[in-house]
A and B are shown apart, each in its own frame.
Chain A
């Protein structure tokens, strides 16, 4: 059930695109430039057939965290003019706010990049990395490592369902009991995720993984003309943007 997009590119092209986007986001520090980059990455999501709105909804929790961290940064960085103060403590400063905006935009760009990569399935990304000459063990391990996150998330979701199936509404429990239940669940959830990962590793090993120093592949990726076009364009654009950035913003 791979996501069909009108714009199906080689995963390596997507990796290149994402590399361009995120290096721009990491190198530059001006909020206006970063917000422009964010708009570009939103447009890219649309091109790849992902609804940015749905995506933001999915990662709502992460967004709250980003905003929270941004506010903390704003509190502790007392550069520029104070905007909100309580007594002598400035709660928000212009410097802090700009810093926070940079941080938020950077995170948003990285999230959008991940969205672009998610239009290829994990096997395709692995194959992309392998054909980029990454050792196959590393490519698979990285993908399994990333897979641990959804495994863990699923484990957590199952557990919350299971708690409710015992007739418990965790939201209405008094705080002491809430903490008790959550800490009590910690052990089975973590143990469950570890046991699952270990069993998976066992199965992979028993199916001959790493039996030989090389490995063949059923899936073979081939660059098409559009891949070259996209890569050249995005490479050039990145170079121009970088040049422009250092020329205009840093001068």
Chain B
């Protein structure tokens, strides 16, 4: 089986302070089109690892390779065009004054054509069932709605891989159903996903590979 690597960590170490290392000597490869889940107890370093892989945090030492390129030197905006990331707290990622603008934001400033923008925006509004909210001020939405808007906005860039930090947080069952459907669709289109989640049933539905993390290390890596 010949699988191409999307994201790869080589001997990666991360710490804010030398005395407390958050990620220890990690070697890990995520493959194109793969649906993986990062699970583990609170404070294990899951979010930190996710942010490292998305280029938001830079490793203290070791290598991060993103689609064959050295991640340390790639600027975040370049990484983001291939690897999407959604924060645990959606409020950190809301940038526009309406849901519509929010989804169109990334495309608009990368000089995409107006037709293309509206086509993408419409399809994402529909996909996430948020058409009725198109004019709403994103910060005034409920938590679950904010999450969907942020995910939609990330997908507008058409990334090849996407990392979601606790995507089911604050979503009700119906919205988790919608999310499952969206993730299924991404999988079919060959887009890789890394889910950071506590929600076991959600992980079981959406991931084929489980990475279990404890105290800054991957302690278990298996396929479902």
Contacts and interface: CB of A to CB of B under 8 A. Distances in A.
Q: Do A and B come from one complex?
A: yes
B77 A159 contact: no
A164 B154 contact: no
A1 to B, nearest CB: 8
A185 B109 CA distance: 13
Contacts of A87: none
Interface in A178-227: 181, 184-185, 187-188, 191-192, 195
Interface of A: 158-159, 161-169, 173, 177, 181, 184-185, 187-188, 191-192, 195
Nearest to A195: B139
Nearest to A196: B91
A167 B110 contact: yes
Contacts of A195: 91, 139
A70 B114 CA distance: 47
B49 interface: no
A164 B76 contact: yes
A164 B164 CA distance: 17
Main DSSP-derived SS at the A contact region = helix
Contacts of A169: 75, 77-78
Interface residues of B, number: 27
Interface in B75-121: 75-78, 80-81, 84-85, 87, 91-97, 105-106, 109-110
B47 to A, nearest CB: 14
A229 to B, nearest CB: 32
Contact of B94 (A161, A177, A181, A188): A188
B177 to A, nearest CB: 26
A173 B85 CA distance: 22
B139 to A, nearest CB: 5
A122 B94 CA distance: 30
